[in-house]
């Protein structure tokens, strides 16, 4: 059956993406230092093939802006407390995606710093979104190799008239020219079915020629469990999993369910410390209940997923966005509009950033009550080819829609900005000159990079010491607060050395 990354027969490996994609799918990336700290050591004990880490620039912004924490401290936590398990990170050819352009020297420094700060040994990079294989692979892959990272290209699955088995076989042949250590089939929308996988995975395996292949699939369609089992039968090397409560729902398969199904198939696996994972599950569940965060549960079958194709990592952010607009009750209407926009745009791949762009425009269309009454700049950028060409659907975009976008009053300025951006991103640039322009000649690399990401230090100055959870370091007041919720606990006695504390909980009549 399966041949794992270690080369032994009848074995499948499991990797963990709880901290990155599990949190992104279910908690809208609401992962503070304390949440990570509560479980990283337990995850490290489990025996995973790799642990996926959130050390990309957008997460850095979130940590500073919304949590008032230092993202470098979180990266250092990963390095210091995940010591046994190999770690992987995403690498992009740009940092801030939309807001600004950076020369390659800045992009290179950011990835050098995140790899060093987190202790990562492997990077992954999308192969067929925004035509990155042609545009970015030639310089990004050598850059990451120089940093000392192994390479795993991720091949994104999405259903469209163009994405046949031959499309994926050809794509695999092209990425194999870069001699990757592993590959990954990424199903961001949870759109794979058993029937589709039966021909798709063998087509990729034939071109991979023995290079290990991971499966990364979400639970949006509820076919996830069957797809994972079929992948094991077809000889997949590694499955990406999450620890509950950050498993199931729009997230990934639970590690406990994956282990069970591997056992049913007669497969061995790499998880050696199940008790550590149970501790991680218990701690994350407590945190979820304490802060009112979602707990992943299996979804009912929704055939609409195959139409709107919204990825698992986007759906929780969409719900949050609709709530901010005051139209949370119109989720179904927005998803229907997403289907129409996908057709308008020529069936682009529904993955970052196109998926975020499309759901945002759909929300605006529904909120205004008129299609494209307000056109987001990202739609104009899409029509200009800023975010790719073929995989972005540009050649197949409806002419009347494309004309509407390109005749928008903002189109000329956006086109000029894109031209300038291309020039900047093709330059090597000078980190030292940028440092000097900020007046940070004597700052550390991490201080400089955070200043650059946040475009100044106004928000950085608001950073506070991080809050911790259930690790033995939380304040006594948090312990008492939690115990007060249990009505059957009336008294607590604590003793340390000669000090003795006696707490009594009074009951109202």
Instruction: In whole angstroms, give the CA distance from residue 59 to residue 27.
Output: 13
In the structure, what pLDDT confidence band is assigned to residue 6 with cuts at 50, 70 and 90?
Answer: very low
Residue 284 clears pLDDT 90, i.e. is over it: yes
pTM as predicted? 0.85
Residue pair 93/126 in contact (Cβ under 8 Å)? The answer is no
Q: Are residues 231 and 127 in the same domain?
A: yes
The answer to whether residue 327 is domain-embedded is yes
Q: Which helix (H) or strand (E) holds 401?
A: helix 399-406
Number of domains making up the chain: 2
Q: For 149-163, what is the mean pLDDT? A: 93
Q: Are residues 52 and 81 in the same domain?
A: yes
* Cα 276 to Cα 17, 245, 254, 260, 272, distances in angstroms: 16, 15, 15, 17, 9
Residue 460 clears pLDDT 70, i.e. is over it: yes
Instruction: In whole angstroms, give the CA distance from residue 461 to residue 336.
Output: 43
- What are the residue ranges of helices labelled H in 265-303? 274-291
Q: Are residues 88 and 161 in the same domain?
A: yes
Question: 253 is written with which tokens?
Answer: 């398969």
The residue out of 291, 317, 343 marking a domain boundary is 291
Q: Are residues 157 and 253 in the same domain?
A: yes
What pLDDT, on a 0 to 100 scale, did the predictor assign at position 179? 97
pLDDT: which is higher, 485 or 360: 360
pLDDT: which is higher, 81 or 325: 81
What is the percent of the chain with per-residue pLDDT over 90, rounded to a whole number? Answer: 71
Closest CA relative to residue 25, chosen from 259, 194, 216? 216
The answer to whether residue 489 is domain-embedded is no
Which segment of 67-81, 157-171, 268-282, 446-460 scores lowest on mean pLDDT? 157-171
Q: Are residues 286 and 347 in the same domain?
A: no
The answer to whether residue 74 is domain-embedded is yes
For 299-319, write each residue's pLDDT tens digit: 888 788 888 888 766 776 788
Instruction: In whole angstroms, give the CA distance from residue 322 to residue 303.
Output: 22
| CATH number of the domain within which 89 lies | 3.20.20.70
Degrees to nearest 5, angle at CA 304 with 300 and 307: 145
Which segment of 3-12, 137-146, 347-356, 491-500 scores lowest on mean pLDDT? 3-12
Which segment of 87-101, 167-181, 277-291 scores lowest on mean pLDDT? 87-101
The residue out of 390, 408, 426 marking a domain boundary is 408
Instruction: In whole angstroms, give the CA distance from residue 448 to residue 192.
Output: 42
In the structure, what pLDDT confidence band is assigned to residue 5 with cuts at 50, 70 and 90?
Answer: very low
The answer to whether residue 444 is domain-embedded is no
Q: Are residues 202 and 159 in the same domain?
A: yes
For 244-255, write each residue's pLDDT tens digit: 999 999 899 999
Tokens 């979400």 belong to: 218
What pLDDT, on a 0 to 100 scale, did the predictor assign at position 165? 97
Instruction: In whole angstroms, give the CA distance from residue 22 to residue 244.
Output: 9
In the structure, what pLDDT confidence band is assigned to residue 209 with cuts at 50, 70 and 90?
Answer: very high
In the structure, what pLDDT confidence band is assigned to residue 321 with cuts at 50, 70 and 90?
Answer: confident
* Cα 26 to Cα 16, 167, 301, 358, distances in angstroms: 15, 31, 18, 20
For the CA atoms of 99, 103, 107, 109, the dihedral, rounded to the nearest 10 degrees, stands at -130
Residue 439 clears pLDDT 50, i.e. is over it: yes
CB contact burial 179-199 (16+ within 10 A = b; e otherwise)? ebebbbbbbbbbbbeeebbee
Q: Are residues 254 and 138 in the same domain?
A: yes
The answer to whether residue 448 is domain-embedded is no
Residue 227 clears pLDDT 90, i.e. is over it: yes
Tokens 């490996």 belong to: 13
The answer to whether residue 498 is domain-embedded is no
| CATH number of the domain within which 345 lies | 1.10.472.90
Q: For 465-492, what is the mean pLDDT? A: 67
Q: Are residues 319 and 262 in the same domain?
A: no
The residue out of 385, 408, 431 marking a domain boundary is 408
Work out the mean pLDDT of the chain and round it to a whole number.
Answer: 90
Which segment of 44-58, 213-227, 330-344, 488-502 scores lowest on mean pLDDT? 488-502
- Side-chain-facing half-sphere of 189: CA atoms under 13 Å: 24
Query: Radius of gyration of the chain from Cα atoms?
Result: 24
The answer to whether residue 229 is domain-embedded is yes
For 53-66, write each residue's pLDDT tens digit: 999 999 999 999 99
What pLDDT, on a 0 to 100 scale, did the predictor assign at position 3? 40
What is the 8-class DSSP label of residue 467? P
Q: Are residues 101 and 223 in the same domain?
A: yes
Q: Are residues 349 and 265 in the same domain?
A: no
Residue 378 clears pLDDT 80, i.e. is over it: yes
Instruction: In whole angstroms, give the CA distance from residue 97 to residue 130.
Output: 12
For 382-392, write each residue's pLDDT tens digit: 999 988 888 88
Q: Are residues 43 and 120 in the same domain?
A: yes
Question: Any idea how long the chain is?
Answer: 509
Residue pair 25/245 in contact (Cβ under 8 Å)? The answer is no
Instruction: In whole angstroms, give the CA distance from residue 337 to residue 508.
Output: 53
Instruction: In whole angstroms, give the CA distance from residue 194 to residue 198.
Output: 6
Q: Are residues 268 and 311 in the same domain?
A: no
Question: 349 is written with which tokens?
Answer: 């791949």
What DSSP letter does each residue of 338-382 carry, written as one string?
HHHHHHHTTS---STTHHHHHHHHHHHHHHHTSTTSS--HHHHHH
3-state secondary structure 183-214: EEEEECCCCCCHHHHHHHHHHHHHHHCCCCEE
Closest CA relative to residue 85, chosen from 152, 29, 40, 146? 40
* Cα 359 to Cα 22, 301, 308, 335, 354, distances in angstroms: 20, 21, 9, 8, 9
Strands 122-126 and 11-16: unpaired
In the structure, what pLDDT confidence band is assigned to residue 506 with cuts at 50, 70 and 90?
Answer: low
Helix, strand or coil for residue 82? coil
Q: For 27-51, what is the mean pLDDT? A: 97
Range of the domain at 241: 11-291
The answer to whether residue 254 is domain-embedded is yes
What pLDDT, on a 0 to 100 scale, did the predictor assign at position 133? 85
What pLDDT, on a 0 to 100 scale, did the predictor assign at position 501? 67
């Amino acid at each position: 059956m399966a041949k794992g990354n270690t080369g032994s027969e009848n074995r499948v490996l499991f990797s963990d993406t709880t901290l990155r994609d599990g949190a992104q799918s279910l908690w809208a990336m609401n992962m503070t230092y304390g949440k990570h700290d509560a479980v990283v050591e337990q995850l490290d004990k489990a025996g995973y093939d790799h642990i996926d880490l959130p050390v990309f620039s957008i997460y850095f912004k979130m940590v500073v802006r919304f949590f008032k924490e230092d993202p470098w401290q979180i990266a250092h936590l990963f390095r210091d407390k995940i010591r046994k398990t190999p770690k992987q990170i995403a690498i992009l050819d740009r940092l801030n995606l939309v807001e600004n352009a950076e020369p390659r020297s800045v992009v290179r420094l950011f990835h050098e710093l995140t790899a060093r700060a987190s202790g990562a040994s492997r990077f992954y990079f999308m192969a067929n979104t925004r035509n990155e294989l042609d545009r970015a692979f030639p310089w990004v892959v050598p850059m990451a190799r120089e940093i000392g990272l192994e390479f795993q290209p991720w091949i994104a699955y999405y259903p469209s008239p163009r994405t046949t088995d031959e499309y994926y076989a050809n794509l695999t042949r092209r990425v194999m020219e870069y001699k990757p250590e592993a590959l990954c089939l990424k199903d961001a929308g949870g759109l794979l079915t058993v029937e589709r996988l039966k021909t798709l995975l063998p087509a990729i395996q034939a071109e991979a020629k023995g290079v290990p292949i991971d499966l990364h699939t979400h639970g949006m369609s509820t076919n996830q469990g069957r797809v994972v089992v079929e992948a094991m039968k077809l000889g997949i090397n590694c499955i990406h999993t999450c620890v509950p409560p950050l498993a199931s729902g729009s997230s990934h398969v639970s590690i406990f369910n994956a282990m069970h199904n591997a056992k049913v198939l007669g497969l061995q696996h790499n998880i050696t410390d199940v008790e550590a994972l149970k501790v991680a599950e218990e701690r994350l569940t407590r945190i979820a209940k304490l802060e009112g965060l979602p707990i992943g549960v299996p979804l009912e079958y929704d055939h609409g997923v195959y139409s709107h194709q919204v990825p698992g990592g986007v759906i929780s952010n969409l719900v949050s966005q609709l709530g901010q607009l005051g139209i949370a009750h119109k989720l179904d209407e927005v998803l229907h509009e997403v289907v129409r926009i996908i057709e308008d745009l020529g069936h682009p791949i529904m993955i970052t950033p196109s998926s975020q762009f499309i759901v945002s425009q759909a929300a605006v269309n529904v909120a205004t009550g008129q299609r494209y009454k307000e056109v987001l700049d990202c739609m104009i950028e899409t029509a200009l080819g800023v975010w790719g060409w073929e995989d972005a659907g540009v050649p197949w975009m409806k002419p009347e829609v494309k004309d509407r976008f390109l005749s928008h009053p903002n189109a000329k300025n956006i086109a000029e900005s894109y031209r300038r951006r291309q020039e900047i991103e093709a330059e090597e640039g000078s980190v030292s000159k940028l440092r000097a322009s900020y007046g940070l000649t004597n700052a550390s690399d991490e201080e400089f990079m955070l200043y650059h990401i946040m475009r100044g230090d106004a928000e950085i100055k608001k950073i506070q010491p991080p809050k911790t959870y259930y690790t033995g370091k939380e304040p006594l007041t948090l312990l008492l607060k939690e115990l007060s919720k249990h009505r059957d606990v009336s008294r607590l006695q604590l003793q340390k050395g000669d000090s003795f504390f006696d707490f009594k909980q009074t009951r109202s009549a």
